[in-house]
């Protein structure tokens, strides 16, 4: 990813100063404290001049299991990751997070936001692994809010009556490739597309509320 001066600062007003950043992780299990982080991907979303969100840039890393981490065979069967394959271009948690956080902080500055908020499908799973990796590595200046998140499982249920990522995407008229699923990059990009579509569908409601708030904020004329 690279900093782009075309970032639209209007996105800061849309989410109360938060910058939505889509994240997906692939892991060696379900326990963020003990199980390995194996892949992490991030998608930056941007806002066009009409106020609509779109998927912008993606960054993804294979991650080396931290020392002493647990690897559950059932999880590796699902994500098809061989953590110790000699050709796997993996970096340490420290390196992966440092690179991603640098890009996210640059986007926060470019948009005038104050903090990133994680967007994910079952978002608190991803946020839990992210926070655990931050704690292990001691990385400072984590751009993400420590506990707030936008969950597309919830949003998909509200918008389309579907909470499973594949079903929500198909209900939204978007694509899903079973063969590509459970790659952090692919899942993050699909989640970003779903998030953008749902937010854009609700844009008329947001604009109506914002217009009403603006009218109510005008002080009455003196008589």
The enclosing domain of 119 has a CATH number of 3.30.420.10
Q: Domain for residue 32, yes or no? A: yes
Task: Name the domain count of the chain.
Answer: 1
Catalytic residue status for 145: no
Domain interval for residue 175: 18-202
Is a pLDDT exceeding 50 seen at residue 156? Answer: yes
What pLDDT is attached to residue 5? 47
Q: Domain for residue 216, yes or no? A: no
Q: Domain for residue 2, yes or no? A: no
Q: Domain for residue 8, yes or no? A: no
pLDDT tens column, 118-154: 999 999 999 999 999 999 999 999 999 999 999 999 9
Q: Domain for residue 219, yes or no? A: no
Q: Domain for residue 161, yes or no? A: yes
Q: Check 62, 124, 145, 182 and give the catalytic one.
A: 182
Is a pLDDT exceeding 70 seen at residue 3? Answer: no
Question: Whole-prediction pTM value?
Answer: 0.92
Q: Domain for residue 5, yes or no? A: no
Q: Domain for residue 113, yes or no? A: yes
Per-position DSSP letters for the chain, written without gaps between them? ----TT--THHHHHTTTEEEEEEEEEESSS-TTTBPEEEEEEEEEEE-TTS-EEEEEEEEEEEPPPTT-B--HHHHHHH---TT-TT--EE-HHHHHHHHHHHHHHHHHHHT-SEEEEEETTHHHHHHHHHHHHHHHT-S---EEEEEEEEHHHHHHHHHS--SHHHHHHHTT----TTTTT-HHHHHHHHHHHHHHHHHHTHHHHHHHHHHHHHHHSPPPP-
What pLDDT is attached to residue 10? 94
pLDDT tens column, 12-64: 999 999 999 999 999 999 999 999 999 999 999 999 999 999 999 999 999 99
């Amino acid at each position: 990813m690279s900093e782009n001066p075309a970032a639209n600062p209007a996105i800061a007003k849309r989410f109360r100063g938060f910058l939505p950043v889509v994240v997906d992780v692939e892991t060696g299990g379900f326990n963020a404290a003990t199980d390995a982080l194996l892949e992490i991907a991030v998608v930056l979303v941007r806002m066009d001049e009409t106020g609509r969100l779109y998927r912008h840039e993606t960054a993804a890393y294979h991650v080396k299991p931290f020392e002493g981490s647990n690897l559950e065979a059932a999880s590796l069967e699902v994500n098809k990751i061989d953590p110790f394959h000699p050709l796997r271009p993996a970096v340490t948690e420290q390196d992966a997070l440092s690179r991603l956080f640098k890009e996210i902080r640059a986007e926060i500055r470019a948009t005038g936001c104050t903090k990133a908020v994680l967007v994910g499908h079952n978002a608190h799973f991803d946020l839990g692994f992210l926070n655990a990796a931050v704690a292990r590595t001691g990385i400072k200046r984590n751009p993400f809010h420590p506990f707030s998140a936008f969950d597309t499982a919830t949003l998909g249920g509200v918008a389309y009556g579907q909470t499973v990522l594949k079903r929500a995407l198909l209900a939204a008229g978007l694509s899903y490739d079973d063969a590509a699923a459970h790659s952090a990059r692919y899942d993050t990009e699909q989640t970003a597309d779903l998030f953008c579509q749902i937010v854009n569908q609700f844009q008329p409601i947001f604009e109506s509320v914002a217009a009403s708030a603006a009218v109510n904020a005008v002080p009455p004329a003196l008589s």
